[in-house]
Structure 1
């Protein structure tokens, strides 16, 4: 929570202009950035104050002025002390002005919320600036989480941040696959910061561009099954598969977190359990994808177990039914879910040749119970 502007910290003339009871013409002058005798920081503070009041007649004027501050006024304000709320507003309005963001990051008074927002939405250059201050990051681990989940953050930088958190015993619960991420990073070489992106950074970016070019408008599987139930990768996804295969485990995990549906459908089949688990835990995962995964008989039991322990996915009757019918689903999971199925589906499962014996037995028992 960013604290409100303390009017008592302003000079007497600034306080007079900031009062809601101040003459309208005086407030309109302040909203245009005209405030003779005031320091640049106070002028900008007044603008933020007026722009924040919903019932302020001069609000729209103040917003327009804030969006196009004269350079001397902006630089003058950045050269003094600014309240956290003013820092936050300038950071949001001038997010694409790297020199402005760089000076704002030097303010000790920047609120955690502001830093998190910059980490979440910032460009590559902005995320590189934020990632430099390790002490600040360790005090606010949520910033590390936002940087990791920002697709503009370099892969090499994300690795360093994960390593930083792991070495200092910080658990980043805001990263859905934190367990997998933290395990993978211990086995990998952490490169030092460089002015330019590393070859791995370039691979990560190019893979993202390729995945976006292949993205479909609806959930689509990357594989097809032959008559014997064996999977084959569709030709169109071969280049994407090869790029993902060239990545390290931590890189594939992050692609699973940030990538397209097609990437997730590839990575959920990864031979490395950490990668496959991360893919199914992705915050981007949609129900229609889970439906495809839960019925796939080539999927790993760990992936199916994760689906079965995710309340969001078990709201879907189709997912529960697929898990029960899938012979790769752990037996204890499948038999537990049997009780949630309709009678017609239980009768089908009890006779099916494609369902394991313990699950068929469980279906028969539940049918008998429902008759009594």
Structure 2
């Protein structure tokens, strides 16, 4: 919660203008930016207060004035120590002006809520500005999380942020695949900060564009299974598949977090267990996708283990049943789910040729107990 502006810190003329009981004409003039005797920083502070006025005309005029402050007033305000609420208002109003944001981000009293907002919604230029202050990031790990999960943050910057947190033993629980991302970064070369995007940054952006073009709600899966049960990538997804294959492990993990459904369905089959686990942990995974994955016999046991340990997916009877029936599901996991199935399904499982013997035995034992 950003602290409110303390009226007691304002000069008497500023307090007179900002008081709710102030004469309407006085507030109307100030709302247009006309307040003789007030310095730029204090005038801007008064405008922020008036932008919350109960007087409609004053509120609307002050808001418009703040969105297009004359350069002398804006420059003067940026050179003073602004209250957190004023910094926040300007940061939201001037997101398209990096020089302004750079000065706001250097404000000693900028609030973490402002940083979180900018880290979540900012473009590439904004996220680069935020990522520079490592000391502040370590004090506010949630900002690192928001930057990582912002698609506009460069991949090279995201790598440096994960490396920064890992080296300083900061656990970023807001990143669903934090464990995988942290483990992967230890074996990778961390790029130095660069004024321009690196080739890896360009690869990440180009892959995003290709993935968006291939998004198709009508496609159930990215693979087709042949008569022998072997999977093959559908031809339309081969360009995306090859792009992902060219990426580092860290890059594929982040694409699993931020990419399209098609990317997640490709990456959940990745030969690298860290990547596959990250894909199934993606916050964008839907129940239908998990149901499809849980019955796939080409999926790794680690992915199936992650599904079984996720409470959200264990509310689905279909997913529980698919995990029990899937021979790739670890035996300990499958047998723990057996008691949760209906009797009719247990009978079918106990006779199935496609279920492992330990699971069939567990189904029979549970049926006997019920009798």
TM-score bracket, normalised by the shorter chain, equals: over 0.9
Secondary structure of the residue aligned to 2:232 is strand
Task: Name the structure 1 match of 2:314.
Answer: 314
Contact 1:155 1:204 in 2 (8 A): yes
Q: Does 1:159 align with 2:159?
A: yes
Q: Does 1:112 align with 2:117?
A: no
Contact 1:207 1:240 in 2 (8 A): yes
Q: How many angstroms apart in 2 are the aligned matches of 1:56 and 1:316?
A: 52
Secondary structure of the residue aligned to 1:82 is coil
Contact 1:219 1:288 in 2 (8 A): no
Q: For structure 1, which runs of at least 5 residues remain unmatched after alignment?
A: none
Task: Name the structure 2 match of 1:284.
Answer: 284
Q: Does 1:59 align with 2:55?
A: no
Task: Name the structure 2 match of 1:18.
Answer: 18
C-alpha deviation, 1:25, in angstroms: 2.6
Q: How many angstroms apart in 2 are the aligned matches of 1:52 and 1:353?
A: 70
The 5-angstrom pairing of residues 107-146 of structure 1 reads 107-146=107-146
Q: Structure 1 runs of 4+ off > 6 angstroms?
A: none
C-alpha deviation, 1:40, in angstroms: 1.6
C-alpha deviation, 1:179, in angstroms: 1.0
Q: Does 1:248 align with 2:264?
A: no
Q: How many angstroms apart in 1 are the aligned matches of 2:173 and 2:301?
A: 24
Contact 2:224 2:232 in 1 (8 A): yes
Task: Name the structure 2 match of 1:266.
Answer: 266
Cα distance 1:365–1:151, how it changes in 2: closer, same or farther (>3 A)? same
Cα distance 1:63–1:218, how it changes in 2: closer, same or farther (>3 A)? farther
Q: How many angstroms apart in 2 are the aligned matches of 1:47 and 1:299?
A: 59
Contact 1:351 1:360 in 2 (8 A): yes
Q: How many angstroms apart in 1 are the aligned matches of 2:324 and 2:52?
A: 54
C-alpha deviation, 1:31, in angstroms: 2.5
Q: How many angstroms apart in 2 are the aligned matches of 1:368 and 1:48?
A: 73
Secondary structure of the residue aligned to 1:355 is coil
Q: Does 1:41 align with 2:37?
A: no
TM-score calculated relative to the size of structure 2: 0.96
Q: How many angstroms apart in 2 are the aligned matches of 1:262 and 1:131?
A: 30
Cα distance 1:330–1:37, how it changes in 2: closer, same or farther (>3 A)? same
Q: How many angstroms apart in 1 are the aligned matches of 2:28 and 2:328?
A: 69
Task: Name the structure 2 match of 1:352.
Answer: 352
Q: Does 1:7 align with 2:25?
A: no
1:160-195, CA deviations, whole angstroms, 9 ceiling, x for partnerless residues? 111111112211111111111111111111121111
Q: For structure 2, which runs of at least 5 residues remain unmatched after alignment?
A: none
C-alpha deviation, 1:219, in angstroms: 6.5
C-alpha deviation, 1:218, in angstroms: 5.6
C-alpha deviation, 1:56, in angstroms: 4.0
C-alpha deviation, 1:64, in angstroms: 2.2
Secondary structure of the residue aligned to 1:311 is coil
1:133-165, CA deviations, whole angstroms, 9 ceiling, x for partnerless residues? 112211212111111111111111111111111
Q: How many angstroms apart in 2 are the aligned matches of 1:10 and 1:319?
A: 61
Q: Does 1:222 align with 2:222?
A: yes
Contact 1:18 1:46 in 2 (8 A): yes
Q: How many angstroms apart in 1 are the aligned matches of 2:322 and 2:289?
A: 13
* Worse-superposed segment, 337-346 or 239-248: 337-346
Could you say what the CA RMSD is over the residues aligned between the two structures, in angstroms?
1.5
Q: How many angstroms apart in 2 are the aligned matches of 1:291 and 1:14?
A: 62
1:86-138, CA deviations, whole angstroms, 9 ceiling, x for partnerless residues? 10111011111111111111111111111121111111111111111112211
C-alpha deviation, 1:259, in angstroms: 0.7
1:260-289, CA deviations, whole angstroms, 9 ceiling, x for partnerless residues? 111111111111111111111112211121
* Number of residue equivalences: 370
Q: Does 1:188 align with 2:160?
A: no
Secondary structure of the residue aligned to 2:340 is coil
